[in-house]
Amino acid sequence: MSQPLLTINGVVMPTPSPGGYTVTKQDLVKSNRNARGTMIKELIATKDKIDLQWVYLSAADLAKLLQAVSGNFFDVKYLNPQTGQFRTASFYAGDRSAPAMDYINGIIRYKDVKFNLIER
């Protein structure tokens, strides 16, 4: 049985759309130039940022996602492309965009839902 691509606090999330899962490595550095103009750079940490997008989502799936990322910090288990292994770390959510596509017969659907998760 295969693992889900993304879980938040142990809850399986809907799989992002094709092309809607991007992990970016972010180097946090302290840098300065010395008197000779040479760059001095100290690597503080490397953190992950996960950009996510779903082309179409039901109201139930959107609610599940938004509730999962509503806390200040939460645990995310995700596929790390650098290692090819699943990793769990503490993240927080960036701005969340959820445009409504249509509302037909009392049922709403969402299109191009996007947000990112930033490692703590």
Computed from CA positions of residues 32, 82, 68, 101, in that sequence, does the dihedral angle turn out positive or negative?
Answer: positive
Asked if residue 110 belongs to a domain, the reply is yes
Specify the number of domains making up the chain: 1
Residue 29: pLDDT band (50, 70, 90) is very high
- For residue 107, the model assigns a pLDDT of 87
pLDDT band of residue 1 (cuts 50, 70, 90) is low
pLDDT of residue 2: 82
Rounded to whole angstroms, the Cα distance separating 34 from 60 reads 55
Domain span at 16: 6-119
1 within some domain: no
Q: What is the pLDDT of residue 104?
A: 85
- Check: CB of residue 59 under 8 Å from CB of residue 113: no
**pLDDT > 70 in the chain, percent:** 99
